[in-house]
């Protein structure tokens, strides 16, 4: 099979030297990519941390017909690379493991003179007749002289939701879902609903609290199975290969 795998975090730029990101480094996706390659599949890995390949593999893995690493940094980078890959090459499976930013910075502002935010009441106050007003402070490097700054965050599109619709991918699609503080019942309900929204074939779901130890994988024979973290690459590839055989051989 030819498989596209995404791994790592995305940066959302505040200015040219600052960004918002998350804690994920792409080890899970990279492990999956290395394992798929070991099983004989052709893998293209999109990752924000290409250095993790050598860290996990022990040595750098040179590019070949069956192994390509394409680095990205920002949400826009990853979106462009995914779109280009899916529009211009044929893949049998997409495993979307990257922890993609849900919001982009849509502006950076400071309170105008006479405007203040009351942290106790969570309300804006103003002494002028125009009411509370913010002043645009966007710059190549935002100055630090202002006592406080406010970021406006706007939703980014869900890249995995574009895979079936905008990019017309018809192969095996695997989605990852991470939640915080949910019990197993709510986690599985949330995961299955999310899988349906993205028209994904398989879902890998876990919690931040348990992510180092286990993940749920499914649906397998109509249900989700709790898989020990070290076993996830093999169990997931078994499921992907099985679905691929079913589609190609009936």
Number of domains forming the structure of the chain = 2
Residues 76 and 146 in one domain: no
**Per-residue model confidence as pLDDT tens digits over 60-72:** 889 999 999 999 9
Size of the chain in residues: 250
Band the pLDDT of 59: cuts 50, 70, 90: confident
Residues 168 and 125 in one domain: no
**Which domain-ending residue is among 154, 171, 190?**
154
**Which domain-ending residue is among 134, 154, 174?**
154
Residues 98 and 112 in one domain: no
Domain span at 127: 104-154
Residues 183 and 238 in one domain: yes
Residue 250 is predicted with a pLDDT of 61
Global pTM?
A: 0.92
**Per-residue model confidence as pLDDT tens digits over 88-120:** 999 999 999 999 999 999 999 999 988 999 889
Residues 118 and 214 in one domain: no
Query: Contact 219/207 with Cβ under 8 angstroms?
Result: no
Main-chain dihedrals φ then ψ at residue 233, nearest 5 degrees: -55, -45
């Amino acid at each position: 099979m030819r498989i596209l795998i995404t791994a790592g975090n995305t940066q959302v730029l505040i200015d040219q030297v600052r960004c918002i990101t998350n804690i994920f480094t792409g080890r899970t996706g990279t492990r999956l990519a290395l394992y798929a390659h070991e099983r004989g599949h052709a893998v293209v890995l999109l990752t924000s941390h290409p250095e993790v390949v050598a860290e996990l593999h022990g040595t750098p893995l040179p590019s070949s017909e069956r192994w390509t690493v394409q680095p990205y940094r920002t949400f826009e980078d990853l979106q462009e690379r995914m779109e280009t890959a899916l529009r211009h090459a044929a893949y049998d499976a997409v495993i979307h493991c990257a922890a993609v930013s849900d919001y982009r910075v849509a502006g950076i502002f400071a309170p105008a003179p006479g405007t203040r935010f009351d942290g106790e009441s969570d309300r804006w106050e103003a002494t002028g007749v125009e009411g509370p007003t913010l002043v645009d402070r966007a710059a190549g490097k935002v100055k630090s002289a202002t006592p406080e700054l406010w970021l406006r965050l706007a939703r980014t599109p869900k890249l995995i939701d574009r895979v079936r619709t905008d990019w017309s991918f018809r192969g095996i699609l695997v989605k990852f879902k991470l939640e915080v503080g949910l019990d197993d019942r709510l986690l599985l309900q949330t995961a299955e609903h999310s899988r349906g929204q993205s028209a994904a074939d398989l879902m890998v779901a876990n919690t931040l609290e348990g992510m180092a130890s286990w993940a749920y994988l499914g649906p397998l024979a109509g249900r989700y199975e709790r898989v020990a973290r070290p076993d996830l690459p093999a169990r997931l590839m078994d499921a992907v290969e099985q679905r691929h055989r079913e589609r190609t051989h009936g």
